[in-house]
């Protein structure tokens, strides 16, 4: 496929790098991890396969061979040729046709997965491009996709264990599963819902207290938890700077320390910055806690003007929510061949 | 449930504390108020080495810094209670060594013999003493046609340029942390005489190889980057090693020259030496 327009940013992404932060390399990876996983699940490829992360639409490309793709994430109009296409479905994109993703009406990021594996360069076992570091990406220079880039594909289409190797759904298996579902009175309960990322203009995100939270007194915490902050224009894969009423300052000089994904720093102006996938590895602002892993994908769908409220969460709930989300995604993956045959 | 965001280690010194960092990470702090930064950082280094020697399968990331060690775990494999229990055991097994180290007994970090190991029924393996990795780094302090703050610093500090150079290059520095950008090492501590706050207006582009100072720290910019430190020289050395940089390569690993706990000394080189180095 050939890139005709990239909008603000279109680039390869995956689940990011693991185990290189002590050297100063950022984690990176899909900001809406959930939509990335869903896209790969729909086209039945491994969860860490590269997808293209498109920020605020404006993406256009032409197919140089027939491809099976899926687009997930923000609520955008998607067109192949002149025909509007649904989100979260496997689509056939014929050779010579143009794929377009318009600016979303809700949410910020779309993910394009492809049944054929994109040929990407790998850096630290990830395809992610990090502009600030000048690492990763198609040419390992940290740049996102550029107009005119021609993307090629690995010859072997990678399959997950439950996908049939020929690319054709296993009819016998499907018929068997269907029969079970029809004869089972609990079949309605077995219906697998589509594990999409919830899209909204306002999000309540949950946070576990941590780091220097003891330095924030109850008034500061009240101001922190009891207001709707707005997402400023300074929102990127590195982090989201929020505006609102200052919660006040803590006077403490800290040594720089490791920053967790979702950590909420309070700047000297008393306003929060949520640190995300491409954050710097260490920093010295006081932190009140971190957004729970389960709620991070929603932050990937925030855009300037979205509002955010924090809600306190305990560690056991946080882990339970995250594990449940993985279970839902896995159930969807296992059931996917069945749902796709009805189309 | 009790407040699980903080857990003091039952240790003779009570200098080590574990707190929640996020739902899938904890951060271990060493209090440096009585023992000093270098000792605290050495304890962090020892804890890091011990953690890696035992490499639990739930370990995803570790980030050692000045007085802290952040540890990210896999939510699939363990919860924070399990991680806390593991770390408390690890600290408690190391507590004698840490106490001895704080009391400045250099022998404390010899590898403990196996007999002692069994006797105490240690759950963790204690690695050998932290080796002193020393790097000697050439610096051209007066590179013409390159941006520098050397003269300004000399003026402000009422020192000759030679005195500033000598002061910077006669000291031995410890790598207290790495981060900010790949390969960037925070080196301390800079002599008090050279200490000054960061630039009020950061530069948009600090050139690759710039050696810079701020507060009681010095560092080298591994690549061009925005930055607020005062530039005093340039090194021709590469701070990052690329294992592979070809499109389509399966695994492009990269290593940083300077690691937390290493030591660094700078030595002055002339402009022609610098240029010769850079072109070779």
Strand blocks (E) in B179-274? 185-188, 203-206, 210-214, 217-220, 225-227, 230-234, 240-242, 254-256, 263-268
> Is residue B138 located within the same domain as residue B269?
yes
Please list, in sequence order, all residues whose beta carbon lies within 8 angstroms of the beta carbon of residue B155, skipping any fewer than 6 positions away. Answer: none
* Residue B123 predicted with pLDDT over 50: no
Q: Which domains does chain A have, with CATH numbers?
A: 2-170 (no CATH), 202-312 (2.40.100.10)
The C-alpha angle A159, A278, A2, rounded to 5 degrees, equals 50
Judged by a CB distance cut-off of 8 A, whether residue A257 touches chain B is yes
Q: End of a domain among B88, B120, B152? A: B120
pLDDT number for residue A337: 52
Q: What is the residue-wise DSSP string for A111-157?
A: EEEESSPBP---BTTB---BTTTTB-STTSSS----TT-B--B-SSP
Residue B145 and residue B216 in one domain: yes
Which residue has tokens 């919660």? A247
> Does the pLDDT value for residue A298 go beyond 90?
yes
> Considering the domain boundaries, does residue B99 fall inside one?
yes
Query: Which residue, among A260, A295, A316, would best test binding to B if mutated, counting the most B CBs under 10 Å from its CB?
Result: A260
In the predicted model, is pLDDT for residue B2 greater than 50?
no
- Of B175, B173, B172, B171, nearest to B65 by C-alpha is B175
Residues whose CB falls within 8 Å of the CB of residue B62, separated by 6 or more in sequence, listed in order: A21, A22, B48, B51, B52, B69, B70, B71, B72
Distance CA B27, CA A270 (A): 23
Pairing of strands A287-291, A282-283: unpaired
Question: Which pLDDT score, from 0 to 100, does residue A162 have?
Answer: 41
Give the model's pLDDT for residue B252.
54
Mean pLDDT for B138-162 is 93
Residues of A in contact with B70 (CB under 8 A): 257-260
Is it the case that residue A167 has pLDDT exceeding 70?
A: no
Selecting from A25, A210, A283 the residue whose C-beta is nearest the C-beta of B20 gives A210
Residues B39 and B144 in one domain: no
Q: Is the pLDDT of residue A278 over 80?
A: yes
Alpha-carbon distances, residue B229 vs A271, B213, B220, B225 (angstroms): 25, 6, 10, 11
Is the per-residue pLDDT at A200 higher than 50?
yes
* Overall average pLDDT of the B143-152 stretch: 92
Asked if B50 and B157 sit in the same domain, the reply is no
d(CA A79, CA A5): 14
Within B145-243, residue ranges assigned H as helices are 150-156, 161-169
Which comes out higher in pLDDT, residue A98 or A181? A98
Residue A327 Cα distances to A85, A321, A322, A332, B139, angstroms: 28, 10, 9, 9, 55
Band of residue B248 on the pLDDT scale cut at 50, 70, 90 = very low
What residues of chain A, 120 to 179, have a C-beta less than 8 Å from chain B? 121-125, 132-135, 138-140
Residues 6+ apart with CB under 8 A from B69: A258, B27, B28, B44, B47, B48, B51, B62, B63
- Which chain B residues have a beta carbon less than 8 Å from that of A140? 245, 247, 252
Q: For A302-333, how does the pLDDT look when each residue is reduced to its tens digit (9 = 90+)? A: 999 999 999 999 999 999 999 999 999 999 98
DSSP label at A258?
A: E
State the average pLDDT over residues A19-38.
95
- Single out the residue in B120, B148, B181 at which a domain terminates: B120
Residue B11 inside a domain? The answer is yes
B231 and B187 inside one domain: yes
Q: Residue B52 has what pLDDT?
A: 94
CA distance B60 to chain A (A): 6
Is A67 or B246 the better-scoring residue by pLDDT? A67
Question: For B169-224, what is each residue's pLDDT tens digit?
Answer: 999 999 999 988 888 999 998 999 999 888 878 888 999 999 999 988 999 999 99
A141 CA to chain B: closest CA distance, Å? 10
What CATH number has the domain bearing residue B17?
Answer: 3.30.1360.40
* Per-residue b or e along B130-139, where b marks 16 or more CB atoms closer than 10 Å to that residue's CB: beeeebebbb
Taking residues A260-281, what's their average pLDDT? 95
- B108 DSSP assignment: G
Question: What residues contact A131, with CB distance under 8 A and at least 6 apart?
Answer: A142, A143, A144
pLDDT attached to residue A338: 43
State how far residue B63 is from chain A, nearest Cα, in angstroms: 5
Judgement on whether residues B142 and B270 belong to the same structural domain of the protein: yes
Same domain, B74 and B11: yes
Q: Which run of H or of E encompasses A42?
A: helix A33-42
- For residue A176, pLDDT over 70 is answered with no
Q: Is the same domain home to B174 and B111?
A: no
Which one, of B24, B74, B18, B4, lies nearest residue A292 by Cα? Answer: B24
Tell me the mean pLDDT in the region B271-275: 93
pLDDT of B227 reads 86
Nearest to B173 by CA among B30, B38, B34: B38
B169 and B100 in one domain?
no
Question: Which pLDDT value is given to residue B204?
Answer: 85
Q: Which residue of B has its CA nearest to A326?
A: B76
In the predicted structure, residue A291 carries a pLDDT above the cut 70: yes
Query: Above 80 in pLDDT, residue B127?
Result: no
Nearest CA in chain B to A280: B180
Q: Using the 3D structure, point to which of B120, B153, B173 is the last residue of a domain.
A: B120
CATH of the domain at B271: 2.40.100.10
Mean pLDDT of chain A: 89
Q: Quick: pLDDT tens for A209-248.
A: 999 999 999 999 999 999 999 999 999 999 999 999 999 9
Q: Is residue B126 part of a domain?
A: no
pLDDT of A196 strictly over 60: yes
* Same domain membership, residue B161 and residue B44: no
Alpha-carbon separation of residue A228 from A173, A198, A249, A301 (angstroms): 50, 18, 19, 17
**Those residues with Cβ within 8 angstroms of residue B4's Cβ, 6 or more apart along the chain or in another chain:** A314, A315, B20, B80, B81, B84
Same domain, B87 and B147: no
Q: What domain range includes position B174? A: 134-279
Q: With 70 as the cut, is the pLDDT of residue B112 above it?
A: no
Do residue B114 and residue B181 come from a single domain? no
The domain total for chain B is 2
Instruction: Count how many pairs of residues, chain A against chain B, have C-beta atoms within 8 Å.
Output: 162
Residue A182 has a pLDDT of 54
* Whether the predicted pLDDT of B4 surpasses 80: no
Choose from A16, A18, A23 for mutation: most chain B CBs within 10 A.
Answer: A23
Asked whether the predicted pLDDT for residue A97 surpasses 80, the reply is yes
Higher-scoring residue by pLDDT: B150, B181: B150
In a domain, B58, yes or no: yes
> Which residues in chain B are closer than 8 Å to A132, comparing Cβ atoms?
181
Percentage of chain A beyond pLDDT 90 is 75
Residue B196 domain flag: yes
Name which of B17, B18, B22, B67 to mutate to probe chain A: the one with the most chain A Cβ atoms within 10 A of its Cβ.
B22
A39 touches chain B (CB under 8 A): no
**Chain-chain contact of B183 with A123 (C-beta, under 8 angstroms):** no
Selected residue with higher pLDDT from A133 and B110: A133
pLDDT tier, A41 (very low <50, low <70, confident <90, very high otherwise): very high
Q: Which two tokens stand for residue A128?
A: 């992610």
Among chain A residues, CA nearest to B180 = A280
Model ipTM?
Answer: 0.88
């Amino acid at each position: 496929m050939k890139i005709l327009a990239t909008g603000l940013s279109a680039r390869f992404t995956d689940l990011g790098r693991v185990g290189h932060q002590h050297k100063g390399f950022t984690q990176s990876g899909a900001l809406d991890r959930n939509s990335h996983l869903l896209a790969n699940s729909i086209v039945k490829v491994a969860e860490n396969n590269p997808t293209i992360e498109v920020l605020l639409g404006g993406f256009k490309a032409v197919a140089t061979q027939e491809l099976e793709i899926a687009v997930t994430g923000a609520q955008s109009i998607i067109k192949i040729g002149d025909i509007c296409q649904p989100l979260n479905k496997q689509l056939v994109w014929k050779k010579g046709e143009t794929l377009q993703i318009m600016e979303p009406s809700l949410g910020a990021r779309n993910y394009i997965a492809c049944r054929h594996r994109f040929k990407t360069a790998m850096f630290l076992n990830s395809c992610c491009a990090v502009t600030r570091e000048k690492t990763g990406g198609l040419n390992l220079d940290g740049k996102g996709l550029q107009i005119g880039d021609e993307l090629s594909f690995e010859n072997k289409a990678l399959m997950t264990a439950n996908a049939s190797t020929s690319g054709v759904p296993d009819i016998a298996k499907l018929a068997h599963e269907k029969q079970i579902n029809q004869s089972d009175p609990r079949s309605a309960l077995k219906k697998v819902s589509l594990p999409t990322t919830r899209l909204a203009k306002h999000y309540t995100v949950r946070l576990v207290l941590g780091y220097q939270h003891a330095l924030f007194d109850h008034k500061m915490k009240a101001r922190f938890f009891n207001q709707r902050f707005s997402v400023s224009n300074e929102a990127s894969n590195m982090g989201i700077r929020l505006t609102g009423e200052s919660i006040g300052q803590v006077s403490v000089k800290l040594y720089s320390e490791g920053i967790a994904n979702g950590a909420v720093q309070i700047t000297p102006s008393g306003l929060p910055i949520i640190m995300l996938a491409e954050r710097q590895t260490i920093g010295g602002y006081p932190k009140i806690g971190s957004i729970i892993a389960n709620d991070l994908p929603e932050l990937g769908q925030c855009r300037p003007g979205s509002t955010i409220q924090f809600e306190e969460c305990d560690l056991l709930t946080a882990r339970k929510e995250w594990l449940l989300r993985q279970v839902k995604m896995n159930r969807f993956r296992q059931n996917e061949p069945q749902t796709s045959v009805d189309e | 449930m009790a407040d699980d965001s903080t857990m003091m280690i039952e240790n003779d010194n009570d200098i080590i504390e574990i707190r929640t960092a996020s739902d899938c990470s904890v951060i271990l702090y060493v209090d440096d108020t009585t023992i000093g930064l270098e000792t605290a950082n050495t304890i962090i280094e020892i804890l890091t080495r011990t953690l890696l020697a035992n490499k639990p399968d739930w370990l995803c990331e570790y980030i050692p810094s000045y007085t802290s060690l952040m540890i990210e775990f896999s939510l699939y494999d363990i919860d924070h209670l399990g991680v806390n229990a593991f770390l408390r055991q690890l600290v408690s097994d190391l507590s004698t060594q840490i106490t001895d180290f704080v009391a400045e007994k250099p022998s404390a970090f010899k590898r403990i013999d196996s007999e002692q190991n069994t006797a105490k029924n240690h759950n963790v393996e204690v690695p050998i003493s932290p080796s002193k990795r020393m790097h000697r780094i050439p610096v051209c302090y007066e590179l013409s046609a390159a941006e520098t703050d050397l003269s300004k610093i000399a003026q402000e500090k009422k020192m000759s340029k030679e005195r500033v150079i000598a002061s910077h290059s006669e000291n031995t520095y410890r790598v207290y942390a790495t981060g900010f950008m790949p390969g960037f090492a925070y080196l301390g501590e800079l002599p008090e005489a050279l200490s000054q706050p960061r630039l009020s207006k950061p530069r948009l582009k600090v050139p690759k190889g710039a050696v810079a100072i701020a507060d009681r720290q010095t560092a080298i910019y591994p690549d061009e980057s925005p930055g607020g430190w005062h530039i005093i020289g340039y090194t021709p050395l590469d701070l990052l090693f690329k294992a592979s940089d070809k499109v389509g390569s399966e695994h492009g690993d990269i290593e940083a020259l300077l690691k937390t706990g290493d030591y660094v000394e700078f030595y002055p080189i002339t402009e022609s030496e610098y240029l010769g180095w850079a072109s070779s």
